[in-house]
Chains A and B, each alone.
Chain A
Amino acid sequence: MAGEDKKQQPFDSKAASSLVAELRGAFASGTTRSYQWRESQLRGLLRMTDEHEQDIVAALRSDLGKPELESVLYEAAMLRNSCKFALKELQRWMMPEKVKTSLTTFPSSAEIVSEPLGVVLIISAWNYPYLLSLDPVVGAIAAGNAVVLKPSEIAPATSALLAKLLGEYMDSSSIRVVEGAVPETTALLEQKWDKIFYTGNGRVGRIVMAAAAKHLTPVVLELGGKSPVVVDSGINLQIACRRIIVGKWGNNNGQACIASDYIITTKDLAPKLVRLPYPHVLVFSLYGVVSCTLPYLFQVDVLKNELETFYGKNPLESKDLSRIVNSDHFTRLTKLLDEDKVSKKVVYGGERDPTKLQIAPTILLDVPRDSLIMNEEIFGPLLPILTVDKLEESFDIINSGAKPLAAYIFTNDKKLKEHFVNNVSAGGLVVNDTTVHLAVHALPFGGVGESGIGAYHGKFSFDAFSHKKAVVYRSFMGDAAIRYPPYTNGKLRLMKALLGGSILGILRALFGRS
């Protein structure tokens, strides 16, 4: 339906306004509030994903060159799990939450009722275009809202597929897709929504929030940042490197908001991750003699070895790596690589193929802190390694920058672990792994500071799209007289006792003693 409209006329402010009015009418009719409707829509999403998995895989291959396994696991399967979890919990989530009331409001009972916000706008990103469009939709539907979804135009095949499939499987009186780019998004942002959920970058996030401010629309902004990985010594380096690799290049070739952006490790440990050019080897091996020579001899180049195991000697040819999404991002990434102060720091990879829009997994060592690559979110297959003398310095480095969406540490040192967990601020932290917290329904997924506002996943999705309404039930018995004029000292004493919550105080006040 939405796809057809697009061909006929441009989606401008007027079209956006009438779309919102239509959905408000649908919401006002109460359709989306019933358990039956929410359940049927969630089942629809599930069926849609099951029945069209291959179409999804094909669209993702077209848009991103995404390997089938990544598409199936990180997009389709995760979305399915999201639907299933919501279906399992929906009745419980919809129930009012009874709360205790105290002496100050005695006698009374109270509860918190979750109600839908109304008509919500979800704007998604291009890197996980299926998941990041529909995972928020799961929350919006579970909470009983009407939804407009605006998928990213940078992943056009997936955008078109979503428009087609949602039109077929979902209740189009309350759930719609609007395709398009900046003009369409602008038209949508001019309207009054009851919530806007945006996944993308901080620059556009500011634009979204400013537009929302005009209508006092609450927002969830899922942004990004430079997610660091701190690597300590005394760990199983092979496992650590595998986890870092699959979290970085195994996630859309590094184009993921929670992919490891850069590594921080000690000057000692760096040579174990990647072999250094000869002169450095001499210097560090002398240094290393003092610390741990034997492991050094046997565990050098761990990162490189594992990368080769995963992607072969010719990673540009590997079918298990997504390509760079488009030439803009390709240019951006090669600029990061080719900056003067950085180009000589490449210790592995660096190959690129502009015709295939592919850049090989690339590791850089000791890039200067003021380089471009260390001052923007990389969002690609380049992994700088920063070295420090003592690992504790890494926390200051991380905390001196903008708070990232995720931060990771590999260590067996209990004290270091706790120091990290308590002192590094990020959306989420993982110890001894990367990115996997995304799949845990019980954890809120969202940023802080520059990495975002709000969170979702699991019940947090339901809450993000709900209004928590306080409901108090009072009886006609009780205290009315003391609260109001004419004011007397006796009333004041009784009131102090009531607010103080002390039964003895109340008795004293009632019987005239102060």
Chain B
Amino acid sequence: METRGDLEVQLKGMREYYRGGNTRGASWRKSQLRGLCRLLEEREAEMNAALEFDLGKHPVEAYRDEIGGLIKSANYALGCLKGWMSAKKAKLPLAAALTTAEIIPEPLGLVLIISSWNFPFGLSLEPLIGALAAGNVVVLKPSEVAPRCSSLLANVLPAYLDPKAIKVVEGGPAVSEQLVKQKWDKILFTGSARVGRIVMAAAANHLTPVTLEFGGKCPAVLDSLSSSWDREVAVQRIVGSKFSACAGQACIAIDYVIVEKKFSSTLLELMKVRIGKMLGENPRESRSMARIVNKHHFLRLKTLLEDPNVKASIVYGGSMDEKSLFIEPTILLDPPLESDLMQDEIFGPLLPIITLKKIEDSINFINSRPKPLALYVFTHNDSLRKRMVAETSSGSVTFNDAMIQYMADTLPFGGIGESGMGNYHGKFSFDTFSHHKAVLRRSFLVDFWFRFPPWNDHKLQLFRSVYLFDYLGMLLTVLGLKKSKQG
């Protein structure tokens, strides 16, 4: 366990290394990204083993949700790096002759990444890709709730990355608390809104900018779909994404489904069939579904279902095994809206179906609740689509699928309101770890002589013309052919 003195010495060393300019050049940044690519390739087996140990994830799930995505992101960053690092010219009006303006991205300096336990590699390394591409030095604090993954990161990262520039600090809440008290040039935090408030309050002491990635109750609105093929695909995507990605313990997992009352029984049947096809008669034996991360969360989910009114609404599943921390896919039909199940983010394999009279009512339903990280809408109805985008607010909206927005390099990934602030992925990662510095270059040759005091009406009039880009007016004033405006 490191003492506070150790930590401060380490951070000081990292700042000095940064100030030495070691991380600024494209070649250093590329070498780090390539190091990550090699790590992901060479250590895939160990990463799979760690995910299996901490969360019971199947290797295909691990690849789909974490390792594969990271390889994609690292390669994307490598390919785009030169463009991201280059200065962007800014357009200037003619009056600014012989002047050039550009925006130059520069690293922020020493940044802190705190990640969560449910996608321990993905949520640690995806931000790291951005921080390194942007030329920063980084301290990574993985979640202690996924301890094998945390210690694997601590062990392998120094072998593949520049150990003077990237450090992994392991530990629990006490360590996190210590870390956030330090002065950082940026903090990117993935976790709960409760802890997010603490992180932002600590950051305020040092005026540290933050990106906060939380979650929320992400609804899936299922409209009537006339084609049975579409219905099958919709259910496959809903049920597949909910139960096969960390058993529903994901910030962008579908938290609950909204459907018109008249379709609820059809939906339920389709879901039951699909779950059966996905996970077989005995989901636990299929080993295709992650388990609940620890006893604390298991008991939390168990308690959600113990509410008698909630229990009464279970229409599928519901069985739990505390020893193996396994909860089977569970569907509930119209549980009470005031129950904890429907008030708190579920973060588990429980899927409530909420029925409404008309599907358009879902808009008010969603708007009367905190803004979620993601909104999913399955529909062919163009006007419903437009209304959903225009009348609701969420981190993102995805039509006819779920969770796939996470893999898009060109879209910002982040929340709004209670679901977070700031965003990352792709270029947004690079930007979130950069300062975009405005640079203006002027010549000695050109100036407006009337720029300088002492002031008079004539100079004022000239300025008025300049500000209007009224070059003719300016010329006339200079020639004395245009009188000053009366004040």
Chain B proximity of A465: nearest CB distance (Å): 13
Name, among A240, A472, A480, the residue most crowded by chain B CB atoms within 10 Å (CB to CB). A472
7 A-B contacts, Cβ less than 8 Å apart?
A68-B455, A73-B463, A115-B393, A246-B452, A310-B454, A480-B233, A495-B64
B212 at the interface (CB under 8 A from A): yes
A296 at the interface (CB under 8 A from B): no
A181 at the interface (CB under 8 A from B): no
B204 at the interface (CB under 8 A from A): yes
Chain B proximity of A12: nearest CB distance (Å): 24
A206: chain B residues within 8 A (beta carbon) = 204-205, 207
Q: Are B92 and A440 in contact (CB under 8 A)?
A: yes
- Expressed in whole angstroms, the Cα–Cα distance for A33 and B104 within the complex equals 33
Given A318-B453, A432-B441, A471-B389, output 13 extra A-B contacts at Cβ < 8 Å: A57-B487, A77-B463, A210-B204, A214-B201, A216-B417, A320-B454, A427-B437, A448-B108, A470-B411, A471-B396, A471-B397, A480-B236, A485-B289
Q: Are B68 and A499 in contact (CB under 8 A)?
A: yes
Q: Are A467 and B101 in contact (CB under 8 A)?
A: no
The closest CB in chain B to the CB of A425 belongs to B106
Chain B proximity of A301: nearest CB distance (Å): 17
Q: Are B442 and A436 in contact (CB under 8 A)?
A: yes
A242: chain B residues within 8 A (beta carbon) = 451-452
Q: Are A501 and B407 in contact (CB under 8 A)?
A: no
Chain A proximity of B88: nearest CB distance (Å): 9
Q: Mark A408-431, 1 if CB is under 8 A from B, else 0.
A: 000010000100011101111111
A368: chain B residues within 8 A (beta carbon) = none
Contacts A472-B401, A501-B72: A209 and B203 contacting too (C-beta < 8 A)? yes
Q: Are A484 and B240 in contact (CB under 8 A)?
A: yes
Q: Are A486 and B444 in contact (CB under 8 A)?
A: no
B422 at the interface (CB under 8 A from A): yes
- Expressed in whole angstroms, the Cα–Cα distance for A30 and B363 within the complex equals 14
Name, among A67, A202, A432, A450, the residue most crowded by chain B CB atoms within 10 Å (CB to CB). A432
Q: Are A487 and B236 in contact (CB under 8 A)?
A: no
Q: Mark A14-57, 1 if CB is under 8 A from B, else 0.
A: 00000000000000001001000000000000000000011001
Q: Are A495 and B401 in contact (CB under 8 A)?
A: no
A239 at the interface (CB under 8 A from B): yes
Number of interface residues of B (CB under 8 A): 100
B279 at the interface (CB under 8 A from A): yes
Q: Are B410 and A453 in contact (CB under 8 A)?
A: no
B440: chain A residues within 8 A (beta carbon) = 428-431, 433, 436-437, 440, 443
Question: Which of the segments A99-107, A133-141, A287-295 contacts the partner chain?
Answer: A99-107
B280: chain A residues within 8 A (beta carbon) = 486
Q: Are B396 and A469 in contact (CB under 8 A)?
A: yes
Chain B proximity of A276: nearest CB distance (Å): 25
B313 at the interface (CB under 8 A from A): no
Q: Are A202 and B407 in contact (CB under 8 A)?
A: no
Q: Are B212 and A430 in contact (CB under 8 A)?
A: no
B291 at the interface (CB under 8 A from A): no
Q: Are A202 and B207 in contact (CB under 8 A)?
A: yes
Chain B proximity of A428: nearest CB distance (Å): 4
A112 at the interface (CB under 8 A from B): yes
Q: Mark B104-125, 1 if CB is under 8 A from A, else 0.
A: 1010100000000000000000
Name, among B197, B288, B399, B437, the residue most crowded by chain A CB atoms within 10 Å (CB to CB). B437
Q: Mark A306-345, 1 if CB is under 8 A from B, else 0.
A: 0000111000001010000000000000000000000000
Q: Which of B270-292 contact A (CB under 8 A)?
A: 277-280, 286, 288-289
Question: Which of the segments B55-63, B140-148, B156-164, B299-307 contacts the partner chain?
Answer: B55-63
A286 at the interface (CB under 8 A from B): no
B463: chain A residues within 8 A (beta carbon) = 69, 72-73, 77
B223 at the interface (CB under 8 A from A): no
Name, among B63, B196, B240, B452, the residue most crowded by chain A CB atoms within 10 Å (CB to CB). B452
- Expressed in whole angstroms, the Cα–Cα distance for A427 and B207 within the complex equals 14
B335 at the interface (CB under 8 A from A): no
Chain A proximity of B110: nearest CB distance (Å): 11
B408 at the interface (CB under 8 A from A): yes
Q: Are A455 and B436 in contact (CB under 8 A)?
A: yes
Chain B proximity of A219: nearest CB distance (Å): 9
- Expressed in whole angstroms, the Cα–Cα distance for A499 and B240 within the complex equals 18
Looking at the complex, which one of B91, B200, B212, B236 makes contact with A442 (CB distance below 8 Å)?
B91
B204: chain A residues within 8 A (beta carbon) = 206, 209-210, 212-213
Name, among B60, B207, B244, B395, the residue most crowded by chain A CB atoms within 10 Å (CB to CB). B207
A110 at the interface (CB under 8 A from B): yes
- Expressed in whole angstroms, the Cα–Cα distance for A442 and B438 within the complex equals 9
A250 at the interface (CB under 8 A from B): yes
Q: Are B207 and A221 in contact (CB under 8 A)?
A: yes
Q: Are B240 and A429 in contact (CB under 8 A)?
A: no
B19 at the interface (CB under 8 A from A): yes
A210: chain B residues within 8 A (beta carbon) = 201, 204-205
B455: chain A residues within 8 A (beta carbon) = 67-69, 320
Contacts A216-B212, A242-B452: A485 and B279 contacting too (C-beta < 8 A)? yes
B244: chain A residues within 8 A (beta carbon) = 483-485
Q: Are A499 and B72 in contact (CB under 8 A)?
A: yes
Name, among B21, B91, B197, B408, the residue most crowded by chain A CB atoms within 10 Å (CB to CB). B408
A491 at the interface (CB under 8 A from B): yes
A514: chain B residues within 8 A (beta carbon) = none
Looking at the complex, which one of B101, B212, B459 makes contact with A437 (CB distance below 8 Å)?
B101
Contacts A213-B197, A431-B440: A223 and B64 contacting too (C-beta < 8 A)? no
Q: Mark A88-101, 1 if CB is under 8 A from B, else 0.
A: 00000000000111
Chain A proximity of B22: nearest CB distance (Å): 13
A33: chain B residues within 8 A (beta carbon) = 390
A62 at the interface (CB under 8 A from B): no
A218 at the interface (CB under 8 A from B): yes
A194 at the interface (CB under 8 A from B): yes
- Expressed in whole angstroms, the Cα–Cα distance for A472 and B399 within the complex equals 6
Contacts A68-B455, A427-B437, A474-B399: A105 and B64 contacting too (C-beta < 8 A)? no
B63: chain A residues within 8 A (beta carbon) = 492, 495-496, 499
Q: Which of B167-208 contact A (CB under 8 A)?
A: 185, 193, 196-197, 200-201, 203-205, 207
